[in-house]
Amino acid sequence: MIKTPKLLATSSAMALAGLLAANSAAAAELGDVKDPIKLAVLEWTGAQVSTQLAGMILEKAGYAVEYVPAGSFPQYSGLSDGTLSATVEIWSNNVGDIYPRALAAGDIENIGSLGLETREGWAYPRFMEEVCPGLPDWTALKEPACAAALATTDTLPNGRLLDYPADWGSRSAEIIADNDLPLTAIPAGSEGAMIAELRAAQATHSPLLLMFWGPHHVLAEIDLGWVEMPPCASDDPDKCVKLPEVEKVVWSGFADKWPAGYEILKSFQVTSSDQEKLMAAILEEGQPLEEVAAGWIDSHQDVWQPWVDAAVD
Amino acid sequence: MTDLFRRPGLLIWSVAFAVCLALVLLAPQVRWIASFPRALQLPLADWLNAGLNPLFETVQPIGRGFATVIDAPLRLVRDLLLFVPWPAFAVAMFLVALRTAGRGLAIFGLIAQLYIVAVGYWTETMNTFAIVLLSLPPAVLIGFGLGVAGHRWPRLRAALIVVLDLMQTFPAFAYLIPLLILFGFGPSAGVIASVIFSIPPMARNTLVGLREVPAVIIEAGVMNGATPGQLFWTAKLPAAARQLLVGVNQTTMASLSMVIIVAIIGGFNDIGWEVLSAMRAAELGRCLLAGVVIVALAIVLDRITGALATGTPRGVVLMPDRGLLTVVAAILLAGIGLRLALPGLELLPRGLGFAAAKALDRSLLQFVGWSDPVFSGLRDALNYGIILPLRIGLATAASPMVWGFALQPWMVAAYAILTLALAVVLAPRRPAAALLILFAALILYTGLARFPWPCVVLIALLAAWRIRGVGLLAVVSTALAMILLSGLWQPFVQSLYLTAIAVLFCVLIGGAIGIAAAENDRLSQIVRPISDALQTLPQFVFLIPALMLFRVGEFTALIAIMLYAIVPPVRYVEHGLRGVPPHLVEAAVQMGVSRWQLLRDVKLPLAGPAIRLGVNQTIMYAISMLVIAALVGTRDLGQQVYIALGNANAGLGFVAGLSIALLAIVADRMLRRN
């Protein structure tokens, strides 16, 4: 991972790592500036913000950029053959097997983390602390009264944990089994379903426990508490809740065609707080994505200019 | 259904019931009855992957070449549509609508376009329009070709109809992966999916049109010494022209209904994409704003192509058509000229939709909060009272946890005696009804999801054989074997049960609305636009409010399915009742029947064929919603389709998709009796 200059000053070890990173991000040719770099724009606002920022920085470096809407599963087909050049926000928690398979096939390349400070785990609207006293400690979920409050027809007599859609893959059912919790994980079907439930639960004060992650735009609207998860019983890290990785991925021919662009995208980072602010401006105030992103570019030149300078001759 | 049980049938069905009863009683002891043995399951999906993926990769270059061929004109059409300034486009559209479909549609179209500009979706709408425009010619040509082939070689016809049925019922989500492998990422893959789905209506209408050319016309042609080719082009084709145009109309609507699938692949900033991302963020307002654009587009295209098919009684002739064409072309060219002269001109205002969408979202949440006592009561009553017992059966629902009491042996005995008594009373006069009651009572006892699988297989095979004979029997056996062996039995039963309940409620509620609308003109006027909207609004729009009111789960899926599948019974029942010849109604009235008798004994029986067609369509609509309804959290075949998509498992997608398609086709064949 590439450290930003601010961090370099903090420790000499980091400085060394930073120097190595800076060396690896060696200045390179621009490459083909006529043929646009095609960035995949995914369905959720966070990814739209990240993509727009990455695209605008590439434009500052002199590239032509095209923003292409892409489904989160179909995009791998486009990235594999260069129809799409890059995608900057792949969440390890919602991709299923299609992503590891495409990586293994060698047609796409993971170029590191986007740098978002993520979180993931079981979450609940704040009023749940009255329904299940003892939250956020996970042992509060063991209480029969808590399970009864969460129970639905699908889960009787257990309480319901609203889980990720089945196609994302999830670990909640195993965690429940490992810890003998009176809960049943019910897949939500889609992200929209999870958010609709969350909003409805908040509006009606009806009990809800759900697997969730951040940064997410709905967190600006609803204050969630996060369960302090039970210690992971399994040795297999894939079966535990851990911080999801958010990664940048390029088409395998990217580095040859746009060498400097490749270095810029490798350096490209977005902080969670920046992304959350931009999402709020779009979703709460209705400002157009392009204007919001342009505003960030204007006010954060100190952040992105070094990425461009280090990459371009 | 009574002729299901003609004399020999009666015996067969009684034996079948005895077998099922025995199986139900044995199920707790014998494991393989309760669930299909895992050891017998085969990795069908893996085999398919192993066999098909190399095949797809071999023909990939052809597919990719094909996609490139589509891509260029698609982008050209889009760029052209976007280059024309919107006021020029709107005026041109107004003139075309005025000439073809009349004043009402022209004004509607103008308002719709102003709306699209105001909410800020002009670009997206033109992108969608480009996709529809480009998928139309291939769909119409291929459909026409297939129809002609089926007409020319009658032996091909049976196979052709099965292929058409598959194209229409195989969920597009399920073949997305092979589609992407073959044609690559981008709008061309979406266009191809859309073409596949919209070919069947054209082919079917071509078949019907050519078949129904009056014999007189053909004879006249033959007597004049026409060669077969001349006969086809100069006699049959013109005579079938109207039906062919109906085909074009239905093909347009079918291709428009695929915009969401096109958007799921992506690559094109179209209106479906807006619906999808709004759905992902659970924003009803934005979803609805974009959905209304699709409805407006559907109405305008439907009425214009429909008017071309049926002649134009309402079209307003301002000038000769050639003159009109010149004027329209001049307006469009003037628009392009203006754009060329003033390159910086930006005529699209900033979208005003945001505030409206936000307000709508807020009021929905307020409504959800305010109505919660009502809806949580309703939710619990329906869930505990109907949905859950139907799924897990009285045997399991009557537990302290669900109904607050445990099932006592005397209750089971009473239930059995009551059912038997009812059957015995009915048996002498209506033996079929007695048997139906016995079966229903048995299924109600175990629940649909826990009804032993051998019984389901037995009933399905018997029904297929008794209704349509050996052909359908073969189809049903193959389908059931595939589902059982691939381990998809549980998701399949869930699908079956969701479809069955949805169809039942739709026919009851929709039928009642249809009857009321047939009896009352004012109600009919209110119902019609609602039906139109329910049918053309992307189904995703319903999911958000349904989720907020009824929460994740089967019940919400049911509501979503019903909102879509309720349209055919409403339409067909009303249409059938209104189509009853007036002189028969007159005669009955003069014989002094009451309004109720008139409806029950005269109108409903006469409307029978139309109503049966409506039920058939209800089933098709309900099944076509299974995949979308899985987005609210079901454990049916639709969920398997998404899992297949997420894991790039083309084989699983194929098996799950084919199961859904076969379910639809078998249901259709059973209802459409010869």
Confidence of residue B56 (pLDDT cuts 50, 70, 90): confident
- A153·B383 Cβ contact <8 A: yes
d(CA B15, CA A308): 80
Beta bridge partners of residue A120, listed in sequence order: A213
Q: What is the pLDDT of residue B33?
A: 81
The percent of residues in chain B predicted with pLDDT above 70, rounded, is 97
DSSP state of A223: -
d(CA B457, CA B452): 9
For residue B185, the chain A residues in CB contact (below 8 A) are 70, 74-75, 77-79, 81, 83-84
- Look up residue A120 and give its amino acid: E
When the pLDDT of each residue in chain B is averaged and rounded to a whole number, the result is: 87
Q: Are the CB atoms for A209 and A124 separated by under 8 Å?
A: yes
Q: What is the pLDDT of residue B343?
A: 72
Q: For B307-319, what is each residue's pLDDT tens digit?
A: 887 766 677 777 7
- A220 and A299 housed in the same domain: no
Q: Are the CB atoms for A68 and A40 separated by under 8 Å?
A: yes
- A35 and A84 housed in the same domain: yes
Range in A8-22, B144-158, B496-510 with the lowest mean pLDDT = A8-22
| Helices B187-211, B122-152: crossing angle, 10 deg rounding | 40
Confidence of residue B673 (pLDDT cuts 50, 70, 90): low
Over range A116-132, report the average pLDDT: 92
For residue B643, the chain A residues in CB contact (below 8 A) are 96, 166-167
- A150 and A58 housed in the same domain: no
Minimal CA separation from B427 to chain A, in Å: 37
Q: How many domains does chain A have?
A: 2
Q: Count of H helices and E strands in chain A?
A: 14, 10
B271: closest chain A residue by CA: A69
- A251 and A234 housed in the same domain: no
- B647·A77 Cβ contact <8 A: no
- Mutate which of B275, B547, B550, B637 to test chain A, going by most A C-beta atoms within 10 A? B547
Kindly state whether B6 is in contact with chain A, defined as any CB-CB distance less than 8 angstroms: no
Minimal CA separation from A235 to chain B, in Å: 24
DSSP state of A229: P
Confidence of residue A128 (pLDDT cuts 50, 70, 90): very high
Q: For B32-43, what is each residue's pLDDT tens digit?
A: 887 888 888 888
Confidence of residue B669 (pLDDT cuts 50, 70, 90): confident
Minimal CA separation from A44 to chain B, in Å: 6
- Across the interface, of A69, A169, A197, the residue whose CB is closest to B267 is A69
Over range B416-435, report the average pLDDT: 88
Closest CA to B571 of B530, B621, B614, B605: B614
Question: Which residues fall within 8 angstroms of residue B421, CB to CB, at 6 or more apart?
Answer: none
Over range B389-402, report the average pLDDT: 79
Q: Are the CB atoms for B475 and B665 separated by under 8 Å?
A: yes
Q: What is the pLDDT of residue B31?
A: 81
- B647·A98 Cβ contact <8 A: yes
Over range A289-294, report the average pLDDT: 93
Over range A200-222, report the average pLDDT: 91
- A107 and A158 housed in the same domain: no
Segment 170-229 of chain B within 8 Å of chain A by CB: 176, 180-181, 184-186, 189
Minimal CA separation from B282 to chain A, in Å: 5
Q: What is the pLDDT of residue B403?
A: 76
For residue B634, the chain A residues in CB contact (below 8 A) are 189
- Across the interface, of B266, B281, B552, the residue whose CB is closest to A74 is B266
Q: What is the pLDDT of residue B569?
A: 92
**Cis bond upstream, residue B238 (ω within 30):** no
Domain of A257, in residue numbers: 5-117+245-311
Task: Report strand pairing: A37-41 vs A210-214.
Answer: unpaired
Q: Cα–chain-centroid distance for residue B87?
A: 35
d(CA B304, CA B297): 11
| Helices B122-152, B237-256: crossing angle, 10 deg rounding | 140
Domains and CATH numbers, chain B: 70-340+350-356 (1.10.3720.10), 370-451 (no CATH), 486-674 (1.10.3720.10)
Residue A19 has pLDDT above 70, yes or no: no
Residue B460's alpha-carbon distances to A71, B617, B618, in angstroms, are: 39, 20, 20
Q: Look at residues A187, A215, A239 and tell me which one is the last residue of a structural domain.
A: A239
Q: What is the pLDDT of residue A236?
A: 66
d(CA B535, CA A234): 49
- A106 and A46 housed in the same domain: yes
Q: What is the pLDDT of residue A14?
A: 44
d(CA B71, CA A66): 16
Q: Cα–chain-centroid distance for residue A137?
A: 25
Q: What is the pLDDT of residue B307?
A: 84
Closest CA to B638 of B630, B646, B650: B630
B545: closest chain A residue by CA: A196
pTM, 2 dp: 0.87
Q: Are the CB atoms for B12 and B458 separated by under 8 Å?
A: no
Over range A14-33, report the average pLDDT: 58
Q: Is B225 exposed, middle or buried (0-12, 13-18, 19+ CB in 10 A)?
A: exposed
- A193·B369 Cβ contact <8 A: no
For residue B379, the chain A residues in CB contact (below 8 A) are none
Confidence of residue A1 (pLDDT cuts 50, 70, 90): very low
For residue A203, the chain B residues in CB contact (below 8 A) are 365-366, 368-369, 372, 548
d(CA B38, CA B485): 9
Segment 14-33 of chain A within 8 Å of chain B by CB: none
Q: What is the pLDDT of residue B6?
A: 55
Q: Look at residues A195, A216, A239 and tell me which one is the last residue of a structural domain.
A: A239
- Look up residue A175 and give its amino acid: I
Q: Give the CA angle between residues B438, B565, A166 to the nearest 5°.
A: 90
Closest CA to B207 of B155, B145, B260, B274: B145
Kindly state whether B168 is in contact with chain A, defined as any CB-CB distance less than 8 angstroms: no
d(CA B528, CA B535): 11
Kindly state whether B403 is in contact with chain A, defined as any CB-CB distance less than 8 angstroms: no
- A166·B643 Cβ contact <8 A: yes
Q: Are the CB atoms for B189 and B180 separated by under 8 Å?
A: yes
The b/e string for B63-80 (b: 16+ C-beta within 10 A; e otherwise) is bbebbeebbeebeebbee
Closest CA to A73 of B208, B650, B517: B650
Residue B342 has pLDDT above 90, yes or no: no
Residue A43 has pLDDT above 80, yes or no: yes
Segment 84-103 of chain A within 8 Å of chain B by CB: 84, 95-98, 101-102
Q: Look at residues A187, A209, A239 and tell me which one is the last residue of a structural domain.
A: A239
- A75 and A113 housed in the same domain: yes
- A155 and A213 housed in the same domain: yes
- A189·B648 Cβ contact <8 A: no
d(CA B304, CA B296): 12
Over range A208-219, report the average pLDDT: 91
- A49 and A90 housed in the same domain: yes
Q: Which helix (H) or strand (E) holds A177?
A: helix A172-178
Kindly state whether A215 is in contact with chain B, defined as any CB-CB distance less than 8 angstroms: no
Q: What is the pLDDT of residue A26?
A: 59
CB atoms closer than 10 angstroms to residue A4: 15
The percent of residues in chain B predicted with pLDDT above 90, rounded, is 25
Kindly state whether B368 is in contact with chain A, defined as any CB-CB distance less than 8 angstroms: yes
d(CA B249, CA B252): 5
Kindly state whether B281 is in contact with chain A, defined as any CB-CB distance less than 8 angstroms: yes
Confidence of residue A10 (pLDDT cuts 50, 70, 90): very low
Range in A19-28, A248-257, B194-203 with the lowest mean pLDDT = A19-28
- B184·A81 Cβ contact <8 A: yes
Over range B436-446, report the average pLDDT: 89
- Mutate which of B279, B551, B626 to test chain A, going by most A C-beta atoms within 10 A? B551
Confidence of residue B146 (pLDDT cuts 50, 70, 90): very high
Confidence of residue B616 (pLDDT cuts 50, 70, 90): confident
- B185·A162 Cβ contact <8 A: no
Task: Establish, for the pair of chains A and B, how many residue pairs have beta carbons separated by less than 8 Å.
Answer: 175
Over range A280-285, report the average pLDDT: 86
- A192 and A280 housed in the same domain: no
Segment 221-280 of chain A within 8 Å of chain B by CB: none
Q: What is the pLDDT of residue A160?
A: 92
Range in A296-305, B46-55, B121-130 with the lowest mean pLDDT = B46-55
Complex-level ipTM: 0.86
Tokens 């200045």 correspond to A27
Give the DSSP letter string of B306-346.
HHHHH--SS---SS-HHHHHHHHHHHHHHHHHHHHH-TT--
Confidence of residue B661 (pLDDT cuts 50, 70, 90): very high
- CATH, residue A196: 3.40.190.100
Q: What is the pLDDT of residue A32?
A: 86
For residue A101, the chain B residues in CB contact (below 8 A) are 648
Over range B17-22, report the average pLDDT: 91
Segment 460-519 of chain B within 8 Å of chain A by CB: none
- A172 and A232 housed in the same domain: yes
Look at phi and psi of residue A240 and say left if phi exceeds 0, alpha if psi is from -120 to 50, else beta: beta
Q: Are the CB atoms for B623 and B169 separated by under 8 Å?
A: yes
Q: What is the largest CA-CA distance in chain B?
A: 89
Residue A312 has pLDDT above 50, yes or no: yes
A186: closest chain B residue by CA: B633
Closest CA to A77 of B291, B56, B140: B56
Strand A86-91's sheet: what is its strand order? Answer: A65-69, A37-41, A86-91, A246-251, A108-113
- CATH, residue A256: 3.40.190.10
- A141 and A163 housed in the same domain: yes
- B645·A186 Cβ contact <8 A: no
Residue A12 has pLDDT above 60, yes or no: no
The token pair at A112 is: 């590191």
Q: Are the CB atoms for A205 and A179 separated by under 8 Å?
A: no
The token pair at B658 is: 């084919």
d(CA B205, CA B134): 21
d(CA A134, CA A125): 14
- A71·B265 Cβ contact <8 A: yes
Range in A16-25, A235-244, B77-86 with the lowest mean pLDDT = A16-25
- Mutate which of B286, B552, B640, B641 to test chain A, going by most A C-beta atoms within 10 A? B552
What are φ and ψ of residue A312, in 5° steps? -95, 140
Confidence of residue A4 (pLDDT cuts 50, 70, 90): very low
d(CA A134, CA B636): 37
Residue B117 has pLDDT above 50, yes or no: yes
